[in-house]
Homo-oligomer: A and B are copies of this chain.
């Protein structure tokens, strides 16, 4: 069971998050601000935090700063209002962490959490669901409604990588690093071929698509 701490002063938003996280099978802990959060962290092994940057008493920056100072490296999903993006202190460590802009789409939140957990090696659940599809890493299957497709390894992991961060552009090299391994000597163009096959395979499935960003790489677009 994965423990998630939600640090959010807005009660109704916090409750909403709780509901969705509960439903997704996480154990949810709540805190209304940074001071509360630290208390919870003292008593419970938390695997991931969802933190609002704007809170009374101790805000998100102070909280994460406090944790970094104590060398605790829990992945943090930061929630911020668009205006707050201008805040100079927004310099959290991308790479381990991620952010979302309000208003929060619950579906997106779950996706990002799954991705963070996977990236930090915490997730044992090799399951992921995006836009009405379920990806199962153990069987390399993609389930959509009644249809089940078994994908070749490379195609599966490619799709999984892209869908972990919808809209985020992945360079070929980034995908190679993640899937083929950092030191592979396979031609990065191979990615193109797999992308083509994925597109072909899912061409009749309009919940998502893989788009080309010329000069950079590829990204997944998930539709509502």
Contact = CB atoms under 8 A, between A and B. Distances in A.
A126 B1 CA distance: 26
The quantity of this chain's copies bound in the complex is 2
A129 B81 CA distance: 11
A139 B219 contact: yes
Contacts of A101: 134
A104 interface: no
Interface string A108-148: 00000000011000011011111010100011110000000
A138 B85 contact: no
A124 B215 contact: no
A153 B215 contact: yes
Contacts of A90: 124, 127
Contact of A213 (B85, B93, B140): B140
Contacts of A85: 127-129, 134
Contacts of A213: 140, 150
A90 B122 CA distance: 11
Nearest to A133: B82
Contacts of A93: 25, 123
A127 B140 CA distance: 29
Contact of A99 (B127, B139, B168, B214): B127
